[in-house]
Structure 1
Amino acid sequence: MLTKFSEDVIPLSDLKINPGKVVNQVKETHRPVLLTSRGRGVAVVQDLDDYEKNQEERVFMKAVTQGLMDVKNGNVMELSEVRTKLGIR
């Protein structure tokens, strides 16, 4: 999902004139659109499904990273301890 600055940077005034065009663009391209005001970025419009997928991926990657750090730091448990803690036989 590479940003195409020629297409994905839109002045806020364009959003006000034709919001449906911007929404359709993010749905079709699966790329976020950067909204600008006076030449500065002020907001991002992104397809909801893409946003939710990105959030899930971030949470997963954060958990994996935390798990790897726990292993590196010796914060580990035996399988029997995990089963007991979770109430699994």
Structure 2
Amino acid sequence: MQIVPMRDLKNTVEIERMCAEANEPIFITKNGYGRLVVMDIDYYERTMRKIDEAALVNKGIEDYENGNVVDGKTALKRIREKHGI
């Protein structure tokens, strides 16, 4: 984890390089306290994809716990009927 003081944000080229090389967020501080997080777009997109996947897994677990499930044959039958397969 890299920590950079707010005044260093003026050097955007260096901050961008740090983000790309570190492959992790850069934490920006002001007066010694965290204020901002800067990250490479690829890192951001990977992180958001992981969050979305985790939400889908949690939804599946919730459905299972609530009994909102069907067996495989029934699921395939419904898919075929819906899509005319």
TM range (shorter): 0.7 to 0.9
Q: 1:9 to 1:88 in 2, by over 3 A?
A: farther
Which amino acid in the other structure matches residue 11 of structure 1?
Answer: P
**2:32 matched to which residue of 1?**
39
Q: How much is the aligned-residue C-alpha RMSD, in angstroms?
A: 1.5
Task: Calculate the TM-score normalised by the size of structure 2.
Answer: 0.83
Alignment of 1:10-89 (within 5 A): 10-16=4-10, 18-77=11-70, 78-79=74-75, 80-85=77-82, 87-89=83-85
- Percent identical among aligned pairs is 31
Runs (4 or more) in structure 1 with deviation over 4 Å come to: none
**TM-score calculated relative to the size of structure 1:** 0.80
Pairs aligned (count): 81
Any unmatched runs of 5+ in structure 2? Answer: none
Q: Which runs of 5+ in 1 are unaligned?
A: none
